[in-house]
Each structure stands twice: as structure tokens, then as C-alpha cells.
Structure 1
Amino acid sequence: METAALLFETELLVAGLCLLAGLSLFMYWRQRHQYMALHRLQARLGRERATREQAEQALADTRRQVCHLSASQQSLRDAERRRIARDLHDDLGQHLLTLGLELRALGASQPALGEIVDRIDGHVQHTLRAMRCVVRDLQPEALENGLEAAVNGQLAQFSRLSGIPCQLDARPDAFTAAQDCRDAGVDKMVYRILQESLSNIARHAHATQVSVAIARAAGRLDLTVQDNGVGCQQSPQPTDRTGASTGLRGIAERVAEAGGRFDVASAPGQGTALTMSLPLTTLH
């Protein structure tokens, strides 16, 4: 009896040890499996992170290249504008001045022709003033004092000439952002776009209030020009026979050339909001 009991206890002990060993092996295998799975997951996450970083770097490089290309094209356009401005001022301007002097001399020598000469001279002087306006527009002097002064001056002139009150909402860092990207022509781009937007409002909107907002966001400069005018029927390519389509297309082309985004929000009787987002990438 004692021998049988001892054998039974021994078998139970051996079975318990085997079961414990089996459980230990199972736990080891499970932990090993989990460790390998975690290691594979970490490796995959690392590869995905590296791929994403490479893609982000490639995107940043592409944006810099686009910005460099846009800056180069803008520099060529600016150089051509300066050449045209000089030619108009030095050549056509001189001819118009000479013509005016000769007309005055003719009027002095032929008093009977005085009325006709004065009328022709008036047309010459008007042409000379129009030519000077074209020269100033080709080579804007307003930006010599910075974008902030140019925008404020433009809005003040718009309100004075159109009689439409104009409100500006802009923090100082918005203008600093444009100065940081001066090599890319962002300040000139904003000035020209605002100029064309206000011109469209004066010609077509029949508005009584205009608001302009300039804000700096992450990597971009946002410009919004909004009026409370008659609005228009939205269309990807406006076809307004009054000429508004030409102005909007010109703005859209300028923004696209800078690698930005242009949106129009409008409805008949609800006014129009033009929103432009320009990338801010400093060129070195």
C-alpha cells in the first residue's frame, strides 16, 4: 500500500512538472512570438516613417524648385517691364514733349489756329499723362516703401476715387512674411493681385463696402478681398461680358504661377469673396 501511494505521488509530481514545463515553454514561445511581431511592426513603422520623410523631403524640394522657377520667371517679367517702361519714358515720352512744344510754338506763330492747337495740345498732354500712368504701373514705385505702405496707399486711393469705404484686417507679421520672401516676388504678387481685385470691384460690383484681409499661416500668405456688391453666378471660368472674366482669369493666372490657390465665393446679390493663398518659401 505504501509503495503504491508513493508511486502515485511520484506520478502526480512528474505530471505536474511536465505540465509546468509545458506551460513555461508555451509562455516562452508566446512571448517570443509577440516580441518578433512587435519587432516586425517596429521595423515596418520605421520603413514607413523613412518613406514618409523621403516623400516630404521630395515635396519640399519640389516646392523650392517651383518657387525658384517662379522667381526666375518673375525676374524676367520684371526686367522686361522695366525695359518697356524705360523705352516708353525715354522715347515716346520725349516725342510727346517735343510735339507739345512744337504745338505751342505753332499756336504762338499762328494765332488764328490757337483754338485748334490748344485742343490738339490738350490731347497730347492727356496722352502724356496716360503714358506716365502706364510707366508707373509697369514699374510700381509704391513698393519701394514696403508692402504695408503700398497696400495702405492703394486702399486709401481706391476709397478716395470710388467713394467705397475699405477696411484692412492684417497683423504686422503678415507683411513681415512677404518681406522674408521678397526674392520670390510675393510682395509684388500681393500688390498686383490686390490692385486687380479692387479694379474689378470698382468696375463691376456696385458695392458699398469692401474688406481686405491679409494673414500669415503655416507656410503661406492668405489674401481675401470681399465686397457686398451684386455678386455673380459662380463658374470655374467666368464669362461675364462686362470684362470681369478677364480680371478674374488674370488673378487666377498670377496665383497659379506662384504655386498658390485661388477661390471665388459668390452668388447673385450676396457679394463676392476672392481668396488667394500664396506659398511662403524663402529663397536663398
Structure 2
Amino acid sequence: MKWLRQLSIYYKINGIIISMLLLLSIIIGFIMMDTTTKLLDQQIEKRGAEMAAYVAALSSNDILLDDNYALFDRINQTKNNTEDVRYILITDSAGRILAHTFAGNLPKGLPIKLSLYPKDEDGYQTMKFNSNEGPIREVIVPIENGAIGYVRVGMSEKSTQQLLSLKLYEFFITTLLICLLAAMGSTYLAYLIIHPMRNLTKAAQQIQQGNFYVQTEIKTEDEVGRLAGVFNEMIESLKEKDFENNRLLKELRAKEELRTVLLNKLFTVQEDERKRISRELHDETSQSMASLLAYMKVLLSKLTDEKQRSLLLDARNVATNVLGGLRKMAVELRPPVLDDLGIVAAMDKYITNFSNQQDLIVTFSPPDQKLIINNQIALTLYRILQESLTNISKHACATSVNISLKQDASSITLRIDDNGLGIRSGAIEAARQKNRLGIYGMKERVELLGGNFTFHSISGQGTTITVIIPIRCLE
């Protein structure tokens, strides 16, 4: 029944109306044919009975006088004057034929022996039989209650059948014309219903494509017209909503652009501040600590008291450790190798130091070709590496980390995999609510460059971070 659901309303309306008309015509045709046949049969029987009674009334004396010629002449005149009469027979009381209207032999199938049965209310009896000339209805009327004889009139149904065929043909033509008129009427009715619906469908398709300035024409005030009016009101409402949405979208885009600018400035200021602090730690604080160590070395050479020398050596060791920590901090804030030798060398050095300090197996797969990127991209990749390894050392309990850096014709890809505990569901959102924004900070950095940051973690199966930055960002 799928094809029926997909069928147009036009064909459904026409099909229903014409089918109902055809069904009604067939039922009426059967009823009419049955009724007409019965009425014609009654008329034939009545006419046959009247003729038989007429012949019987005139033939009693002729039978008694054995005037067969008079009998023959009377029945032939009667037959010739009536088209439906096939034959007339006059028999005696024993059923022997005295006169008949057949020029030759009797038709095959005609019962010669007279079979009598109780008469009906009109005083005659009928029987129907098939002969070689077609169906014949015979009416039998007794002469003087059968004491003298019987008149048998055979009425042919040929004219009746012709009349029925003619009426059936006329009924068929009338039905065909009515169905044609009904098809025209149903077509017009379907047009009145479907045309506005097609307009509504076209308008809905225009709305689907974003055109909220379409209107449907209202020609009537019926249900379809009211539907079109409601549809136009809906379009106006959607137009207002679309205008409001466009306004809000413009404001959101403006705020997003402002946010992007602010984040860019924030990261730029942050990196500049790190660079300044790193330079101060390296150029001023570290130099001061180095000078302090030099003075302590001179002072140590002039002391003779062992206790004082021991205290000064301990202080010198503390100062040495502080100097080492300052230099490490300065390198982490802004590694000079990043500016001098590039991102690959800086990442390799950081990974080596991290692996030695955390006792982790960290493998690094650099790109085959020389990587040429600007400072912003290099800083982003380096900070993501730092943040990722820091998170792994604090939370993952991993034993190995795989890092790869690749470049193709359209993008640069950084991938970091560990075999740690992974992150359970909801842990990232809980960290965000506690203002632990490490992952979100990495994501923001990548998105500012038009890149894509993906984070995939399964509890107990490790974590994978993938960063893809389009090549256009290198220009």
C-alpha cells in the first residue's frame, strides 16, 4: 500500500468519486435489469394469456364441430397480428394437437405432451423451455375448463432480450457520460483543493531555503483559505524571528570577534610577560646570584675557621641550587632554543629533560622535512606540549608517552598519546568548575589559529590529544 500513500490527492479524489459512481451504477444496473426482466416476463405472460383466452373463447364451437380450417385460420391471423407470438397450438382435452401455426415441423424442445398442473389465480398456467430457436415461454389456457381442449400460446423472448440489450446499452452510455461528467467535476474539485495546497508547498519550500518574504494568495474564505491565512501569519512570525536571530547572530559574532581579539592579546601579553621575566631572571637575578657565589668563593678562601667555612659552604650550595632553579625557570618561561633553533629542537630538548626528570619513556617523532613556522604557531605547539606532559606526570600514572609532529600540504599535526589511566566521564567538567582550565586553554590557543583540537580518553586505556593547525595560518 506504499504506492497508495504516495499517490497524489488529485488521483485519490478522482478515483474515489469514479469508483463510487461505477459501483453505484453496477448495483443500480443489476437491480434495474432484474426488475425489468421480471416486468417484461409478466407482460409477456399477461399478453399471452389474453390472446389464449381470446382464441379459447372463439374456438370452442369450432372444436365441437371439428372445423379445423376455422381453427387454423383464426390462430394464424392471431399470430400474424402479434410480433411476440412464436406459435399457437389448439389441443383437445386429451392433449392431441388439433391445429397449429407451424408451417413445417415443430421446433426441437417443444413439449408435445401436455403436462397439466394446478392453474394460477388468473386461470392459466405457464411453463418455460429452451428450443433450438431460443427460450420460449408457453401460456396454457383451458377451453371450458379443459373439457373441450386447451389453447397453448408460445411467446418468444427474443424481442425481450433485444429490448433488454438496448436498455443495457443505453444505461452503459448514460453511465459513461455520468462518469465523464463526474471526472470533470472531481477534477475541478481536486483543483480547488490541490492548487492552494501546491502553493502552500512551494511557499514552505521557499521558507526551507531561507526565503521568509514569500506569501500565499488567498482566493477563498473556506478552510483552505483560512489555512493560507494562518500560513501567511506564520511566515510573518518566522520573518520576525529570523530578523531577531540575525541581529543576535551579528551581536554574537561581534562578541566572538572581540573575544578572539582579547584572547590573542591575553596570550600575547602572557608570552611577552614570560619573556620579560625569563630575561630578567637570566640577565639580572641569575647574574646577581652568580656574583654572590663569586663573593662567597673569595670569602671562603680567606676563612680559617672550619666551622665558619662549613656554614659558608652550605650557604654557597643553597645559592647554587637557587641559581639552578632560576635558570630552569627562565628556560621554561621562554626557552632560548625556541627562538634560536626552532620548535623541533625546543620540543626535543624539553622532552629529553622531562623524560629524565619524571623517569618516563617518551618517544618523539619529528617531521622529516625542515619545519618553518612563525613564532605564534611555535609557541602554541610548545605550550600544548608543556601542558600535556605536565598533566600526564600529575594525573595519568603513565609509563610511556608517544609524541609525533608532522606537516603535510595543508596542515601541521601534533599528536600526544599516553598509556595512563585515562580520564573518567565528567572529570573534565568537574575540573572546569574548579577553574582548572588546562585543556580548555589548549583548545582556545588552537582555535585562535583556526585549528582543530581533539581530546579522546577512555578510562583505563590512556589519552590521545591531537592538534591540527591549517597551513594557511603559517602565512
TM norm structure 1: 0.61
The answer to whether residue 325 in structure 2 is matched with residue 125 in structure 1 is no
Shift of 1:69: 8.0
Seen in structure 2, the aligned counterparts of structure 1 residues 132 and 155 have a Cα distance that, compared at 3 Å, is closer
Q: Which has the higher contact order (CA 8 A, sep 6+)?
A: 1
Shift of 1:226: 1.0
Question: Which SS does the other structure have where 2:431 is aligned?
Answer: coil
* Correspondence for 1:84 among 277, 299, 308: 277
Structure 2: runs of 5 or more not aligned: 1-205, 211-255
TM-aligned CA distance change 1:248 to 1:65, over 3 Å: closer
Q: Secondary structure of the equivalent of 1:275?
A: strand
> RMSD of the alignment, in Å?
3.9
Q: Partner of 2:421: helix, strand, or coil?
A: coil
Aligned counterpart for 1:193 among listed residues 384, 398, 416: 384
Name the SS of the counterpart of 1:263 in structure 2: strand
Q: CA deviation at 1:129?
A: 0.8
- Name the residue aligned to 1:237: 429
Could you list the runs of 5+ residues in structure 1 that have no partner in the other structure?
Answer: 1-43, 49-62
Secondary structure at 1:281 match in 2:
helix
Give the Cα–Cα distance (whole angstroms) in 2 for the partners of residues 215 and 120 of structure 1. Answer: 48
Count of aligned pairs: 219
Which of 156, 177, 187 is the matching residue for 2:352? 156
CA deviation after TM superposition for structure 1 residue 92, in Å: 1.8
CA distance in 1, matches of 2:355, 2:279: 30
Deviation by residue 1:129-183 (Cα, 9 ceiling, x = unmatched): 111111122221232222233333333333344343333455436x63xx24x15
Return the match for 1:228 from 414, 419, 437.
419
**Aligned counterparts of 1:75 and 1:161: Cα–Cα separation in 2:** 29
Choose which of 238, 244, 266 in structure 1 pairs with 2:457: 266
Query: Would the aligned equivalents of 2:377 and 2:474 in 1 still touch at CA under 8 Å?
Result: no
1:99 maps to 292
Letter in 2 for 1:273: T
Match of residue 103 from structure 2 = none
- Mapped partners of 2:470, 2:258: distance in 1: 12
The structure whose Rg is larger is 2
Q: Which amino acid aligns with 1:232?
A: I
Corresponding residue for residue 51 of structure 1: none
Shift of 1:218: 7.3
Q: Which amino acid aligns with 1:99?
A: L
Tell me if the contact between 1:167 and 1:210 (Cα under 8 Å) persists in the aligned partners.
yes
Name the CA shift for 1:244/1:74 in 2 (closer, same or farther; >3 Å): closer
Structure number having the greater helix percentage: 1
Identity of aligned residues (%): 27
CA contact (8 A) 1:200 1:244 kept: no
Partner Cα separation in structure 1 for residue 264 and residue 311 of structure 2 = 50
In structure 2, do the counterparts of structure 1 residues 169 and 104 end up closer, same or farther at CA, with 3 Å as the change threshold? closer
Q: What is the identity, as a one-letter code, of the residue corresponding to 1:152?
A: D
1:270 counterpart SS class: coil
In 1, the alpha carbon distance for the partners of 2:378 and 2:286 equals 29
Aligned partners of 1:127, 1:253: CA distance in 2, in Å?
34
Helix, strand or coil: the match of 2:386? helix
Q: What one-letter code is carried by the residue in structure 1 that aligns with 2:384?
A: I
Q: 1:214 to 1:68 in 2, by over 3 A?
A: farther
**1:203 is aligned to 2:397:** no
How many Å apart are 1:84 and its aligned residue? 1.9
Question: How far apart, in 2, do the equivalents of 1:275 and 1:160 lie?
Answer: 24
- The letter for the 2-side match of 1:237 is E
Does the 8 A contact of 1:70 with 1:258 survive in 2? no
Structure 2 counterpart of 1:138: 333
Residues 119/247 of structure 1: CA separation in 2 closer, same or farther (3 Å cut): farther
SS of the equivalent of 1:231 reads coil
C-alpha contact 1:64 1:283 (8 A) present in aligned 2: no
